[in-house]
Amino acid sequence: MKIVFQNKTNDIGGEVLLVSVNPKNKDEIVKENEAKTLYLKCDEASKMNLRKLYLLVRKMVVMSKSTKTEKFAFNFNDFLFNPEGKQASYGAGNIKISKEELGEIIGSQLDFANYEFVEYKTPTEEGFSFIKEIIILGVDKEIEKAILKGHTIAEEVNKTRTLANTPGGDMTPKILAEKAKEAVKNLPIKVSVLGEKEMEKQNMRAILSVGRGSDEESKFIIMEYSGGKKIEKPIVLVGKGVTFDAGGINLKPSSSLLGMNMDMSGGAAVIHTIVLAAKMKLKKNIIGLIPSVENMASGKSYRPGDVIRSMSGKTIEVLNTDAEGRVILADALTYAQKYKPEVVIDIATLTGAAAVALGERMSALFTDDDILAKKIEDAGEKTGDYVWRLPLWEEFENEIKGSLSDLTNVHNKDSRYGGAIYGAIFLHQFIKDYKWAHIDMAPRMVAMAGENLTTGAVGAPVRLLYKFIEEYK
């Protein structure tokens, strides 16, 4: 999608749809001579907030696409919602944003809403309905720069969505590793991939145990971006990379198998967050670690009742083979210690229980560091990748103590309560002497109705992670 900046409305040709954002009773298209104007209904300035702003920008794209136009134009000033020209106040906690920050938001949401996964569809004679050009009026050079920054952010979010949307047969651990290498082409990012023999030498038996049931070789993807000073400790991102999750011996029911190609969404988010950081030349050191496996049922699969010795030396009693994400992340979190990190954030579609607890509008956040939690929450509010913090109390550790082992990979009494918490408290056992947070993004794996987004993956939480890294001090 091309973004063009112009100063005057009369420079726009008649084939371009003009969009006007004003508080009105309804959305409507008005035709005057040869020109069409789409009027978008929105709240009055006093009722607008950041959450509504995201939806409004996306609606502008979605409704323009519905008219079969390939080009539309709008005035940036329509989105200020502040006739005095001062900084507008949006969102929870009275967050204030500048015009440049508004430009970044608009630039990202335009591409975000224009995306659709069509790689496996046969185009009709008319072709697919995409906006090919957007003309933006009323911006200066600084806002132009901010809008184009948002455009770049959205490009990487959308590439994350494409990785996640790809069917499992075309997105194995080996292919995911290849995609990581392709994504960093011409960028100062080093990608290394450990195969099963290399992981065996590293004693990464938790990862190897989960992947054993598949014919596809498990991989451990390492991405290293050194944008900061050599003495600066890195931020480490750890992404779950289960390219298909059948549940293993504890096979998922048929209705739950669809969509399990997206169980590598956390890994995809890590890949493109680091790519984005490199493209934006952030002066930070960032490491990405992605344990990638298929969790399949076969005669070679790890079994309920097996005891695994992880890379850390701690043993894990497998009570449910479908709780595999935390098992592979255990080795990845242990490996992260080699980098003496400043902070580690793991991102995983870990539990359906997180969605049961929170619904589908936010990811679950776990950390024992209040300052880190606040920084992540603020990054989520600013970017639209919302999170909500859940408890990580020491008392929960009692329910993952094993009878045959150090730990169990699910609640040791087979309780159906608090599943997201027990997944997080399990991961916490593999953390040492560094700041850590766990984002259970299962609630945000796919778009929900009313978000003005196409169906499928949403690319969470790339925007949050990038903003967090950009602002981290």
Q: Which of 159, 205, 326, 467 is catalytic?
A: 326
Residue 176 amino acid letter: L
Gyration radius (Cα) of the chain, Å:
23
Reading the block at residue 47, the tokens are 């009722």
- How far is the CA of 225 from the CAs of 111, 191, 200, in angstroms? 26, 9, 26
Of residues 366, 378, 336, 338, the one with CA closest to residue 463? 378
- Whether 416 is catalytic: no
Q: Which of 145, 181, 252, 361 is catalytic?
A: 252
Query: Omega of the bond prior to 391 within 30 degrees of 0, cis?
Result: no
Residue 458 amino acid letter: V
- Whether 309 is catalytic: no
Q: Contact 210/293 with Cβ under 8 angstroms?
A: yes
CA dist 247 and 295 (Å) reads 6
Q: Contact 282/227 with Cβ under 8 angstroms?
A: yes
b or e along 181-214 (b: 16 or more beta carbons within 10 Å of the residue's beta carbon)? Answer: eebbeeeebebebbebeebeebebbbbbbbbbbb
DSSP string, 155-184: HHHHHHHHHHHS-GGG--HHHHHHHHHHHT
Of residues 397, 214, 390, the one with CA closest to residue 296? 214
Angle between helices 173-183 and 141-165 (to 10 degrees): 160
Query: Which residues are catalytically annotated?
Result: 252, 326
